[in-house]
Structure 1
Amino acid sequence: MSMSRRELLEGSAGLALTGAAALSLAGPAFAQGPRRSAAETVDVKELMTPGPLGDCVLGNAAAPVTLVEYASLTCGHCATFHTAILPGLKEKYIDTGKVRLVFREFPLNQLDTAVYMLTRCALGADGMSSGDQARYFAMINVFFREQRNWAFTNDPLTAVTGITRQAGFTQAAFEACLNNQAILDALNAVRDRASSVFGVDSTPTFFVNGKRVLGAQPLEEFEKIIVPLLPPA
């Protein structure tokens, strides 16, 4: 079920009613299908069709391995991946041109959605991926690193506002972003398509050249899938 802008703003009460309670405010905001198994493969051409705002990507477009990640900013396992696993993966495979990471938003609740809207606005007022992706990923990293300080507090509004201020948001820009219906609709569309077409029903969910990988697996587990897909040295 998609959220309207009114439901987003009223449901989160400007983020003030969220925090730990946000995770159970209305349950997941998408229709869950049957649980999918790891190792299942999806159609790569279909998977690589970007959403309305385009994809945000780390790494070389010509990399032989593409890792697509669907993540929630309020998901603890997603935060673990980004803070403890991705740095090693980035140094060893992304920065060396072997893997590219396609990051896709999969909001699970209203707070998630609101904060993802703000990270998209870091790209520009329209939220398109053609904007400043370095700024986008910098905000994503901060929100994951500081997750417990904003997602699990009684006053997420103050914490989220503080993070966006450091990223250069004015109060006017903050409010305009949360009232951007086009960005909200686009985030809903990416999440709903991931659920209905690719069976994404938990976060983080990854696809390595189309092969499903569930959860924040250790780097060694990703390597077992990535290394065989690389061309001979």
Structure 2
Amino acid sequence: MSPTRRSLVLAAPAIGLLPGLALAQGNDPRLAERSAGKADAQATVIEYFSLTCSHCANFHKTVWPEVKSRLVDTGKVRMVWRDFPLDQLALAAAMVARSLPAERYEGFVGALFSSQDRWAFARGADNMGEIAKIAALAGMSRADVDKALQDQALQRSILESRMKAQQEFNVNSTPTFVFNNKPQPGEVTFDRFVQLAGVSAG
């Protein structure tokens, strides 16, 4: 998804939260890296994504399963996920995802992408109520969801990470992949992913 009106919705309230505030990471496990694959994999690929991005959802539904089975599970690629929310709803969903135990993160994000039409785009939907239902399947109570959504330190850290992505890799749309420190904006096919990662698919 390109930085259209949906990203501008986030910009105004978000930027106001940031001046003078340092990253609140410290030892907070919610802000630790989320990844899949071996630490010594041949290649590390970073994906900047927004949970309300339909292009990100399409990648995760159609390309990621093959990347996971043929490249990640075989030790060729280590995949690192970084939040780049394009709007307030994506930010809220990212906060809930980050509040789950790390081992449940990938599954929860995948479930959000698979049901994106229902919780993100359905007219008249109770957005947070739908997200909470999916979080409940991952073992997170509605009270814990509400607590995560009220955590301004977590919110600030995700937004500052987003700004760092803009500064470090000039990320301005999602998905953006980083292969060998070179950003590649937009969806990629499996074959293109293999080529950019510099590994073999065999």
Report TM bin, short chain: 0.7 to 0.9
Name the counterpart of 1:68: 46
Q: Is the 8 A contact 2:48 2:83 kept in 1?
A: yes
Q: Is the 8 A contact 1:57 1:102 kept in 2?
A: yes
Q: Is the 8 A contact 2:45 2:197 kept in 1?
A: no
Of residues 159, 174, 186, the one that matches 1:203 is: 174
Is residue 94 of structure 1 aligned with residue 72 of structure 2? yes
Q: Deviations over 1:28-58 (max 9, x none)?
A: 5359xxxxxxxxxxxxxxxxxxx93221010
How far apart, CA to CA, are the structure 2 residues paired with 1:26 and 1:214?
A: 16
The residue type paired with residue 110 of structure 2 is N
For residues 99 and 176 of structure 1, do their structure 2 counterparts lie closer, same or farther at Cα, with a shift above 3 Å needed?
same
SS of match in other structure, 1:220: helix
For residues 84 and 25 of structure 1, do their structure 2 counterparts lie closer, same or farther at Cα, with a shift above 3 Å needed?
closer
SS of match in other structure, 2:52: coil
Is residue 219 of structure 1 aligned with residue 190 of structure 2? yes
How far apart, CA to CA, are the structure 2 residues paired with 1:107 and 1:24?
A: 13
Is residue 169 of structure 1 aligned with residue 140 of structure 2? yes
Q: Is the 8 A contact 1:30 1:192 kept in 2?
A: no
Query: Mean Cα displacement is larger for which, 97-106 or 178-187?
Result: 178-187
* Aligned 1:1-233 pairs, distance under 5 A: 24=5, 27=8, 29-30=10-11, 52=25, 53-123=31-101, 133-153=102-122, 154-155=124-125, 156-227=127-198
Sequence identity of aligned pairs in percent? 34
Q: CA RMSD in A?
A: 2.2
How far apart, CA to CA, are the structure 2 residues paired with 1:171 and 1:29?
A: 24
How many residues align? The count is 181
SS of match in other structure, 2:59: helix
Name the counterpart of 1:18: none
Q: Is the 8 A contact 1:30 1:195 kept in 2?
A: no
How far apart, CA to CA, are the structure 1 residues paired with 2:163 and 2:64?
A: 25
Q: Deviations over 1:86-122 (max 9, x none)?
A: 1111111100001000000100110001111000111
Unaligned runs of 5+ in 2: 13-23, 26-30
Normalising by structure 1, we get a TM-score of: 0.72
How far apart, CA to CA, are the structure 1 residues paired with 2:133 and 2:57?
A: 19
Q: Is the 8 A contact 2:8 2:87 kept in 1?
A: yes
SS of match in other structure, 1:206: strand
The residue type paired with residue 137 of structure 1 is E
Larger RCO, structures 1/2 (Cα 8 Å, 6+ apart): 1
Unaligned runs of 5+ in 1: 1-22, 32-50, 124-132
User: How far 1:79 sits from its partner (Å)?
Assistant: 0.4
For residues 25 and 99 of structure 1, do their structure 2 counterparts lie closer, same or farther at Cα, with a shift above 3 Å needed?
closer
